[in-house]
Amino acid sequence: MPSNKSVSDAPIVQFTNCRILREHRLQREDLWVREGKILNPEKLFFDEKGSADVQLDCKDSIIAPGFIDVQINGGFGVDFSLATDDFKSGIDLVSQKILSHGVTSFCPTLVTSPPSVYHQVLPQISVRNGGAHGAGVLGAHLEGPFISKEKKGAHPEHCLRTFEAGAFQDLLATYGSLDCVQIVTLAPEMRRSSEVIRELAKRGICVSLGHSVANLSQAEEAVQHGATFITHLFNAMLPFHHRDPGIVGLLTSDKIPAGRRVFYGMISDGIHTNPAALRIAHRAHPKGLVLVTDAIAGMGLAPGRHTLGQQVVEIDGLNTYIAGTKTLSGSVATMDTCVRHFQEATGCSVETALEAASLHPAQLLGIEHKKGTLDYDSDADFLMLNDSLYVQATYIAGEEVWRQDVLGM
């Protein structure tokens, strides 16, 4: 076998007998991986005169980029909005458990909380690569407290805040630090929100519009100032109205700056959004749809009482409510379930369903050059799935980090 030593001593793994999601379609070709990156086989053959050290037969599996969850409040008994002494071990547990659901990167999400919680929790969240220990952490998603009282949903009213004279300083004082923050959800109709959006965007932080009573022109103005995302479309915002469609109208707005795309999160669990609404959004703006779980601590656990930050929530089947009410509070859906439901509800292609959980969130966060695709030189974070989109194995940096037990299939 020709030597690969000229470029690298690292072994080359060739995944064969598979269909790869590349350039928006499933292509029957092999996947080549070395040192955690996806290789261009032409360069390998012709420039390096190299070949595979290991061949793996994928048995006709689909290979797709790993899923990226940009809104997950916790799971498996861990609540990211609770300040605990062992918070880091909670992050570790969730990041390990979500591997079986195909998530290779995520944004731990904090709901509206008192400043003391942000000050305790945020220093304990650090951006890190994924691996055998669990999915990678891309940075925190701070959902609130600068949101609308009328559309607070499951967020505690006594913790909501407004922007005062030094708006951005208010935000900094509330959170304590923005070092590990990737996304901030706020209500754009709040006074002085424009200067906050501009400042966050300037720092490379994604601004999401949500928990809001904004009309369409306020939403469009927020996008012009740098907002690029909508938090769980249709939930906790004004319902679509034909004379003023509100934030929902951003999906077909003609006031979006040239070259900018507005993305929107969807909780595709069959409960938060009627399948007809899911179809409307997808048909109106397919390239902006980002699947999120909005999962709470009760994900992966039996029905009963759990927490969501300052609130007690009750799980009844797949429904999660603030205890004693019928106010929905997050979900217990896993990302692979959301992908399957999305495909079933919309009748979209397998490729489209998979990209809504991988390519689109990567584009939203501006990391599509390394995550969310199987392009050459990108990170080898990928999944093997069967034709029904059940995850069979999860790989991070080219290493297998989870595999379905054959007996459990």
Binding residues, as ranges, are 143, 154, 211, 232, 235-236, 243, 272, 328-330
- Number of residues in the chain: 409
Instruction: Exactly one of 69, 294, 379, 381 is catalytic; name it.
Output: 294
Which residues lie below 8 Å from residue 281, measured CB to CB, with a gap of 6+?
233, 234, 248, 251, 264, 266, 273, 289
Residues 244, 247, 249, 250, CA torsion sign: positive
CA distances (Å), 161 to each of 52, 149, 156, 173, 187, in order?
A: 57, 9, 11, 12, 11
Question: Would you call 253 exposed, middle or buried from its count of C-beta atoms within 10 A (0-12, 13-18, 19+)?
Answer: middle
Name which of 198, 43, 196, 175 is nearest 120 in CA terms. Answer: 175
Name which of 68, 62, 135, 60 is nearest 99 in CA terms. Answer: 135
Whether 405 sits among the annotated catalytic residues: the reply is no
Question: Binding site for substrate: what residues are annotated?
Answer: 154, 235-236, 243, 272, 328-330
Please give, one letter per residue, the 3-state secondary structure of 326-346.
Answer: CCECCECCCHHHHHHHHHHHH
Annotated catalytic sites, by residue?
294
